[in-house]
Amino acid sequence: MSFSPILMVREKIFFKGKIIRKSILQKEDLIS
């Protein structure tokens, strides 16, 4: 089983994006 670096980078970016989106939603909940 070989890991392609491009796939790992894409997964990292996707995971970071999910965390950022979650924190933005939490901030919006605090504001409203």
Whether the full predicted model's pTM is greater than 0.75, yes or no, is no
Q: Which tens digit of pLDDT belongs to each residue from 1-32?
A: 577 889 999 999 999 999 999 999 998 888 76
Note the Cα 24 to chain centre separation in Å: 12
Q: What is the pLDDT of residue 1?
A: 59
- pLDDT of 31 reads 74
SS (H, E, C) 1-32: CCCCHHHHHHHHHHHHHHHHHHHHHHHHHHHC
